[in-house]
């Protein structure tokens, strides 16, 4: 079902349209030199049309690549009062959000997300994150697009593991929102073979859940932090694999680690059906990643633990972990990461790796 809604945010409210076919309808009307897109979409443009193409890699998302892009925007004649259109996944989104937040002290932009991850999650919330040297997502700003146009049909060309990666983020957001939202998500029968109309329903469920968190806590002070569920472990898997493991797959592994960690502390989750459903669902999606077991056996739980230690959400003495409580609620817990906690974290990582090896 096509839908449109707005997101309240402090600088300005912005708008989201979800409708299959909207991309093809609008592409012709866009001024091509002011489009920034993923090289993957080269075939969509006619000879002579000159959008700015970028490769969708973590290297392209680094601060030292920004001056060249800013010069390209200047060469394309982009002035204050004009708008950029971004077409791509989370990488293109992060780059465009960041550069438009600083170009001539800020210009407006609109966004067509093209990955499931960007459609269900990152397209709203306003964050941009850019890598600096070896540090992922170290700098950024809050700078939302004016208008987000979501065409679920664009996801039809995604590789299977990229599709699964996005579904894992949708599972995460709806699980964090609560059992009703997660049950509605599961009732769409989410899988990498799902139909485009079913994906449209998943996108609506994911965005509705995320809208709740970003509207009550726009700047990530309290409730929104719960959306980092699976991410402290997940980012460590992602970077330990040198970004060979897609973000959502790594988050799925991270969620399984956080559940293993709680079990090791004596929490059984017995009778909490949502937890059992989440684990089964994640297991299926994670296995879509080709070469998973080879990648995982090459990782070292001690190395993953050290990478977790540098998570920017911790302070020097206390770590903040997002965990599932004995009643199945997602909660934030501060803990001293030394002694037995460190052992349990390493053990949770090792047992999760063993599940897929």
Ligand X SMILES: NC(=O)c1ccc[n+]([C@@H]2O[C@H](COP(=O)([O-])OP(=O)(O)OC[C@H]3O[C@@H](n4cnc5c(N)ncnc54)[C@H](O)[C@@H]3O)[C@@H](O)[C@H]2O)c1
Q: Measured from the CB atom, is 218 or 301 closer to ligand X? A: 218
Distance CA 231, CA 76 (A): 38
Least distance (Å) between residue 143 CB and ligand X: 10
Least distance (Å) between residue 42 CB and ligand X: 11
Q: Measured from the CB atom, is 235 or 262 closer to ligand X? A: 235
Least distance (Å) between residue 46 CB and ligand X: 19
DSSP output for 255-296: HHHHHHHHHHTT---TT-HHHHHHHHHHHHHHTTSTTHHHHH
Least distance (Å) between residue 92 CB and ligand X: 6
Q: Measured from the CB atom, is 75 or 132 closer to ligand X? A: 132
> Can you give the binding site for ligand X, defined by CB under 6 A?
38, 40, 56, 58, 61, 88-94, 114-115, 117-118, 121-122, 125, 127-129, 137, 154-155, 157-158, 162, 165, 247
Q: Measured from the CB atom, is 215 or 264 closer to ligand X? A: 215
Q: Measured from the CB atom, is 16 or 260 closer to ligand X? A: 16
Contact 116, 165 (CB under 8 A): yes
Q: Measured from the CB atom, is 128 or 258 closer to ligand X? A: 128
End-to-end CA distance of the chain: 41
| Rounded alpha-carbon distances, angstroms, from residue 326 to 110, 172, 270, 275 | 42, 18, 9, 10
Distance CA 205, CA 3 (A): 11
Closest CA to 179 of 296, 297, 343, 324: 324
DSSP output for 178-215: -HHHHHHHHTT---TT--HHHHHHHHHHHHHHHHHHHH
Q: Measured from the CB atom, is 101 or 162 closer to ligand X? A: 162
Q: What does residue 88 show for φ and ψ, rounded to 5 degrees? A: 165, -170
Helix axes 196-216, 179-186, angle to 10 degrees: 160
Least distance (Å) between residue 154 CB and ligand X: 5
Instruction: State CA 6 to chain mean position distance.
Output: 20
Closest CA to 58 of 91, 96, 86, 93: 91
Q: Measured from the CB atom, is 60 or 70 closer to ligand X? A: 60
Query: Beta partners for 132?
Result: 135
Q: Measured from the CB atom, is 206 or 301 closer to ligand X? A: 206
Contact 5, 204 (CB under 8 A): no
Give me Rg for the CA atoms of the chain: 20
Least distance (Å) between residue 246 CB and ligand X: 6
Closest CA to 243 of 235, 255, 251: 235
Least distance (Å) between residue 251 CB and ligand X: 9
Closest CA to 267 of 328, 226, 319: 328
């Amino acid at each position: 079902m096509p839908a449109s809604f707005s997101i309240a945010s402090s600088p300005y409210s912005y708008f989201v349209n979800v409708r299959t076919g909207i991309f093809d309808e609008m592409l012709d009307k866009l001024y091509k030199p002011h489009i920034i897109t993923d090289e993957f979409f080269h075939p969509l443009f006619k000879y002579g049309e000159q959008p700015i193409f970028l490769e969708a890699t973590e290297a392209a998302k680094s601060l030292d690549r920004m001056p060249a892009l800013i010069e390209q925007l200047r060469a394309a004649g982009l002035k204050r009062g004009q708008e950029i259109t971004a077409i791509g996944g989370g990488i293109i989104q992060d780059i465009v959000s960041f550069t438009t937040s600083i170009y001539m002290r800020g210009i407006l932009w609109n966004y067509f997300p093209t990955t499931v991850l960007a459609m269900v999650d990152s397209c709203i919330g306003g964050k941009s994150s850019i890598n600096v040297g070896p540090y992922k997502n170290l700098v950024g700003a809050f700078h939302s697009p004016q208008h987000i146009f979501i065409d679920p049909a664009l996801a039809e060309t995604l590789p299977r593991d990229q599709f699964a990666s996005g579904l894992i983020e949708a599972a995460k957001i709806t699980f964090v929102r609560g059992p009703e939202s997660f049950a509605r998500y599961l009732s769409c029968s989410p899988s990498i073979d799902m139909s485009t109309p079913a994906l449209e329903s998943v996108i609506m469920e994911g965005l509705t859940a995320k809208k709740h968190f970003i509207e009550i806590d726009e700047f990530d002070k309290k409730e929104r932090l719960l959306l980092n569920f699976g991410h402290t472990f997940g980012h460590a898997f992602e970077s330990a694999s040198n970004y060979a493991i897609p973000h959502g797959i790594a988050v799925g592994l991270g969620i399984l680690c956080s559940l293993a960690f709680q079990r090791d502390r004596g929490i059984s989750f017995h009778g909490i059906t949502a937890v059992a459903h989440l684990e089964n669902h994640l297991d299926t999606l994670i296995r879509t990643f080709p070469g998973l077991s080879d990648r995982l056996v090459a990782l070292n739980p001690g190395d993953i633990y050290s990478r977790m230690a540098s998570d920017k959400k911790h302070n020097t003495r206390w770590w903040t972990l997002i965990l599932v409580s004995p009643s199945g609620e997602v909660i934030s817990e501060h803990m001293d990461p030394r002694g037995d906690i460190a052992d349990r974290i390493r053990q949770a990582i090792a047992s999760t790796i063993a599940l897929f090896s």
